[in-house]
């Protein structure tokens, strides 16, 4: 969903218009991994990607950490972001605080949250990434081997 709003700012005698739009679900990429690290030159190292948005719990194998990551595309301008994770019982287990960010046109915004992997239960989780209260929602499944 695109939200177009215009802020008019006077600079001397000229008037500039600043566009604002929110990221779209289509075109945004979601992944589950063990960690994401920022490197030099604006690169990211993504470690331990779980294919197919499934996590398989195996006896005596510990998942050290879990990151739910969204590369949000299509936004421009300032917005408030937050992330919510709901467990298979429908209870919100993580609610991040709101954060104001500046989205840049033609650049992906990385939204990520760390989940305490040892506390995962079997079932479907829902993660919602909010941009000015507009949701981009994804699910992932935790199962046993």
pLDDT, one tens digit per residue, over 105-128 is: 888 888 888 887 767 889 999 999
User: pTM for the full model?
Assistant: 0.79
Confidence at residue 7, expressed as pLDDT on a 0 to 100 scale: 34
In whole angstroms, give the CA distance from residue 136 to residue 69: 12
Does domain 25-144 fall under CATH 2.60.40.2550? My reply is: yes
Structural domain boundaries of the chain?
25-144
Regions in the chain scoring below 50 on pLDDT: 1-13, 15-17
């Amino acid at each position: 969903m695109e939200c177009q709003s215009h802020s008019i700012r006077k600079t001397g005698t000229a008037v500039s218009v600043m566009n604002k739009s929110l990221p779209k679900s289509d075109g945004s990429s979601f992944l589950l991994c063990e960690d994401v690290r920022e490197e030099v030159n604006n690169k990211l190292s993504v470690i331990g990607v779980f294919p197919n948005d499934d996590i398989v719990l195996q006896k005596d194998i510990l998942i050290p950490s879990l990151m739910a990551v969204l590369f949000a595309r299509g936004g421009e301008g300032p917005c408030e972001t937050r992330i919510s994770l709901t467990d298979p019982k429908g209870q919100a287990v993580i609610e991040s605080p709101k954060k104001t960010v500046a989205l840049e046109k033609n650049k992906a915004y990385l939204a990520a949250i760390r989940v305490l992997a040892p506390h995962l239960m079997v079932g479907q989780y829902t993660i919602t990434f909010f941009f000015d209260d507009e949701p981009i929602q994804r699910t992932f499944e935790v199962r046993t081997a």
